[in-house]
Structure formats: structure tokens, C-alpha cells
Structure 1
Amino acid sequence: MSRLTKRPRVDHKAAARALREQPGVWLVVGDYRSKTSADSTVTRIRHGYPIGAREYGTPYLPVGAYEARTEPVEDGTRVHARYIGGAA
């Protein structure tokens, strides 16, 4: 049985920064093997929940400033997001 290749971790701070630099544009946040993980990430982006350890926090603030969606890809699920602005 072969192992799946390890994927690089998503740098959410860099992703949020790129989204803020291009308001209204859908950008790829990252690819996830599991649709459940991708859906959880979408929820966290939309609601500004912490991603990973609480100490890491969330770069997707203020709440409601980002939209996110998923797309099936060949080996998993891709998360896209866009910055729509919001009160700081």
C-alpha cells in the first residue's frame, strides 16, 4: 500500500493578506484531502474562527469580511475565498 504524498500546510496569514490586497477577487486558499476539512476551513474563514491552535488565532477578521467556497479537485477539495471588506 502506498502512502499519500504529504501536502504543504496552508499559510492562512499569507492567504488573508493576499485576499485583502485584491478585494472582491476569488483566490485559492489551499487544497484539502478531505471535504470535511475543507468545509470546516470555509466555516472558519466566514465566521472568523481560529484556525489550528487558538494561539495562532485567525487572520480572517473582521467577521463577515471574507466569503469562502469549496470546489472538488482530482485528489480532494479546494478552498477559494475573497475579501469583501468590513468594519475594522
Structure 2
Amino acid sequence: MSARRAIYEALMADQPLGPLDAAVLVDQHHAEVLREARAKGVEATHADHAAAARQARARSGGWLHVTTYKSAHTARCICSQVRSGCLTSYQPAGDFDARVSVEEDGARLYVRYVGRGQ
């Protein structure tokens, strides 16, 4: 049995992993298995962007905290999608501004309605 398979089965059986197991995950299987480990141990962040957009429109110009992401990279990607209108809740493009604030508990996404889209 491969090391990856053994570690994966330990994760699925809710068996604790030691530091050596974590090193094997990083060295041999990098992102794919780390995603599996994170999915098993960390609840995903879910944001209701439709509700956030409605609230931001109601408080035009004021910053609204949408959610806190565990990954700053994810928060920055969503931030860009808000500004460009790629997320349908924040259309048309340019109607919303967004920013990310990296804190100890994660990366906080803030949006505000500016209403200058086309």
C-alpha cells in the first residue's frame, strides 16, 4: 500500500495523523492530499453573496463584512471577482468595490456598493 493511500485511509477512518505523516503528505503528494486532509478537518467557508450584495446596496457606500476565509489567496480571488462583476450577485461590473483584510483569524472580505457600473 502506498504512503498516500495509507494516510488517506487514516483520514477517512478519523485516525489522528502525527507530524511525520504530515511531512510525508507535503513531500510526496503536495497539494492533492493536503486538500483531502483540509476537507476532512476544516469546514469550508460559505458566503451568501446574494444577501451580501443586497445588504451592500441598502447601505450604499458603507463597507460590509461578507465572510472570513482561511486562505488569503481565496479571499483575494473573490475580491477580484466582486470588483469585475464575475460573481453575478455583484453585477454590473464596477457597481461594487471590495477589499481584503488579513487578520489572525483569517482573511476578511469586505464589499461596498458604489453604483458606478455600466
Q: Secondary structure at 2:67's aligned position in 1?
A: strand
Q: Mark the runs of 5 or more structure 1 residues left unpaired by the alignment.
A: 51-57
- How many Å apart are 1:87 and its aligned residue? 4.8
Instruction: Extract structure 1 runs of 4+ deviating beyond 4 A.
Output: none
2:99 corresponding residue in structure 1: 69
1:59 corresponding residue in structure 2: 89
Report if aligned partners of 2:98, 2:112 keep a CA contact under 8 Å in 1. yes
The alignment's TM-score, normalised by the length of structure 1, stands at 0.81
1:19 aligned to which of 50, 56, 71: 56
1:53 corresponding residue in structure 2: none
2:108 aligned to which of 63, 71, 78: 78
Between structures 1 and 2, the one with greater helix share: 2
Q: Mark the runs of 5 or more structure 2 residues left unpaired by the alignment.
A: 1-15, 18-40
Between structures 1 and 2, the one with greater strand share: 1
Matched residues in 1 for 2:95 and 2:55: separation? 14
Equivalent residue pairs, number:
80
- RMSD of aligned C-alpha atoms? 1.8
Q: RCO higher in 1 or 2 (8 Å CA, sep ≥ 6)?
A: 1
Q: Which has more radius of gyration? A: 2
